[in-house]
Chain A
Amino acid sequence: MADTESNSAASRTFRLAVVNAGISDPSSTKLLADRVAQAVSDLATRRGHRVQVRTIDLRELLPELSGALASGLLGPKFTAAVDALREADGVIASTPVYKAGPSGLFDSFFQVLDNDLLIAKPIALAATAGTARHALVVDEQMRSLFAYLRALSVPTSVFASTEDWQDKSLGSRIDRAAFELLLLMESGFERDVRGESWRRYQHEYGSAGGSELTIDLDTDLMRLATGGSLKPTGSTIEGIDED
């Protein structure tokens, strides 16, 4: 489905979701995300591919965030963001650092998502801050969030404090992260994990952004639902006692 506009079998069109939690306009956090996205796009072009970018400005979701946090109810913009993430071949996630951590908006957004939405999805992590002293926020806080979500974070973290914007080494980090992200997108890692190993991850009915709709009738619980009995006390119940 990603190959609709490709010229040859090797040329592909990748979908890239670019999430940023920048608040001001213009926002350096959004600028950083866009620079990574541009780098991915340029690299892809050089390698004979195309990239479709979908930008998710989390700021625009603020009016829907309270409902999502309070009752799990996703409004239309939230739903569109989930759709974009689900369909993306790769993700760039960028946040400002506030009070020595990712912004509350950024964390809240990812906390609301289904646990299995981002499984095996390649993601490049970026953060901006007013001081270089926050440089480890990406590695120490953002990585653990995406590890929980079982996304595949690229090795290079992109961090930009105020002084970094004048330092060309920021550009080289951006290029490195972009290249790593593109390689993972090209590799088909996510597709193969989802295609061949999806059942080994925990899912709820209707999860993964509404796409997880398979129902396995061949389980201990389904047998119990249809008048069967469980194994004797002390034994484990498949799907409940084991993960």
Chain B
Amino acid sequence: MQFGIFSVSDITRDPVTGTTPSEAERIDAVVRMAVKAEEAGLDVFAIGEHHNPPFFSSSPTTLLAHIAALTTRLIVTTSTTLITTNDPVRIAEEYAMLQHLSKGRMDLMLGRGNTAPVYPWFGQDIRQGLPLALEHYNLLHRLWREDVVDWEGHFRTPLQGFTSTPRPLDDVPPFVWHGSIRTPEIAEQAAYYGDGFFANHIFWPKEHTQRMVEFYRQRFEHHGHGTAKQAIVGLGGQTYIAKNSQDAHEEFRPYFNEAPVYGNGPTMEQFTEMTPLTVGSPQEVIDKTLGFRDYVGDYQRQLFLVDHAGLPLDAVLDQIDLLGSEVVPVLRREFASLRDPEVPDAPTHAGLVKAKYGDAQPRQPRPNANRGDNVTGGSPYQDSEAVARSPFGEELG
């Protein structure tokens, strides 16, 4: 089972000191968090994507490539990549590039984004968000699996004879998680393709997560990817840890009370009662997190939100240390002992390569020579079957 942290990249005023970090400070801080996550023994770092202040993460692959270069073991991923307002062609290209540079230490999580004004900035309409997400992913899925794609859809301009470059590392597409809170169509798409399903799990009571995960598991089995219990599930979570519970409550309360989204609403006690948030000692975090398994079954990835609401960097680094030293080692042991032996581990690049090739060498696509007009003609790679194509992409009889 993988454990990690995820950030939404908010730049929030620290309600205790009154200081708002600059973009430069917050970007540096997030890089330090990621490096600290690896040092503390965590497995995964995830960053969100936003295109408006007070967030900084407009370009997640740039940040994640940098983090991958500073680390050796950490898996970098997103929480989430916007499958609606991004062109799926650009997602295919950018994340394949990240996959090469990180040597496969990456995956990505797709989400729709719920900020209405962002959509028109990218020529889209939030009212079409769901069909847009579904259609875009259908295309993205093909772009990573077919060297040459002809495609026509409802939203994007058609593609004729298009090759997304670079081809995925070892010709094995990045693993994809689909994030959703209460949209059955997204769970269905994840199940159809045998991809992972990630429940944000932060703002909703557990019943919502439970229902969606159960539906995804049933459909995963229906679509023939394995049994329901073998479906790939990830969960979000949110913690503030101190050695003793009382300190945790006192330290976190001012941040909770003014947090974006739920601040000035429910009390911290109500919120911890009704949602996965845990504020308390390492043992309290362990107990509550182990309880997640009771309603979603054995799952593969647990990410914690530890850096939002204006928490200063030092506090966040302490949180990562506490997670790594006192919480995650126990969770690893406990979850492993409870785990059904038929449940697979979280997918990794090495595992996917092994599944595809066994002991054989992975495919390494080598392009054909430039034909003189900066394209390679009908067959882009030396090992692909030569297909005669007209300059407009149609296959010739």
Contact = CB atoms under 8 A, between A and B. Distances in A.
A230 to B, nearest CB: 4
A231 B154 contact: yes
B357 interface: no
B87 interface: no
Interface in A4-38: none
Interface residues of A, number: 32
Contact of A75 (B154, B203, B266): B266
B211 A69 contact: no
Tell me which of B154, B183, B186 has the highest count of chain A C-beta atoms within 10 A of its own C-beta.
B154
Interface stretch (A145-153, A192-200, A210-218): A210-218
Interface in B118-162: 127-128, 130-131, 134-135, 138, 153-154
Interface stretch (B61-69, B269-277, B297-305, B321-329): B269-277
A225 B188 contact: yes
A240 B131 contact: yes
Contacts of B193: 227
A130 interface: no
Helix, strand, loop or mixed for chain A's interface? loop
A121 to B, nearest CB: 23
B265 A230 contact: no
B261 interface: yes
B185 interface: yes
B191 to A, nearest CB: 9
A210 to B, nearest CB: 7
B163 to A, nearest CB: 21
Given A206-B208, A226-B192, A240-B131, A71 B262 contact: yes
Interface string A214-243: 010100111011110111110001001000
A102 B138 CA distance: 49
Nearest to B130: A221
B188 A70 contact: no
B265 A217 contact: no
Helix, strand, loop or mixed for chain B's interface? helix
A174 B274 CA distance: 40
Contacts of B154: 229-233, 237
Given A66-B264, A229-B135, A215 B130 contact: no
Nearest to B261: A71
The range of chain B's interface size is 35 or more
A231 B261 CA distance: 37
Interface string B206-234: 01100110010000000100000000000
A143 to B, nearest CB: 29
B205 interface: yes
A213 B182 CA distance: 11
Contacts of B205: 73-74
B207 A71 contact: no
A75 B270 contact: yes
A221 B208 contact: no
Contact of B138 (A206, A224, A232): A224
A228 to B, nearest CB: 8
B223 to A, nearest CB: 8
A201 interface: no
B131 A224 contact: yes
B189 interface: yes
B185 A222 contact: yes
B143 to A, nearest CB: 14
A237 B182 contact: no
B127 A240 contact: yes
B184 interface: yes
Contact of A225 (B127, B192, B264): B192
A67 B131 contact: no
B364 interface: no
A227 B192 contact: yes
Contacts of A225: 134, 185-186, 188-189, 192
B267 interface: yes
A237 B131 CA distance: 8
Nearest to A237: B131
B135 A230 contact: yes
A93 B204 CA distance: 28
A66 B266 contact: yes
B274 A73 contact: yes
A226 B262 CA distance: 35
Tell me which of B131, B192, B212, B223 has the highest count of chain A C-beta atoms within 10 A of its own C-beta.
B131
A204 B185 CA distance: 12
B126 to A, nearest CB: 11
A22 to B, nearest CB: 24
Given A70-B264, A71-B265, A206-B208, 15 more contacts: A71-B203, A75-B274, A205-B182, A206-B207, A210-B207, A221-B185, A225-B134, A226-B189, A227-B192, A227-B193, A229-B154, A232-B154, A237-B154, A240-B130, A240-B131
28 contacts: A64-B270, A66-B264, A66-B266, A67-B265, A67-B266, A68-B265, A69-B265, A70-B264, A71-B203, A71-B261, A71-B262, A71-B265, A73-B203, A73-B205, A73-B271, A205-B211, A206-B182, A210-B207, A213-B211, A220-B131, A222-B188, A224-B134, A225-B134, A225-B185, A231-B154, A233-B154, A237-B131, A240-B127
Interface of B: 127-128, 130-131, 134-135, 138, 153-154, 182-186, 188-189, 192-193, 203-205, 207-208, 211-212, 215, 223, 261-267, 270-271, 274-275
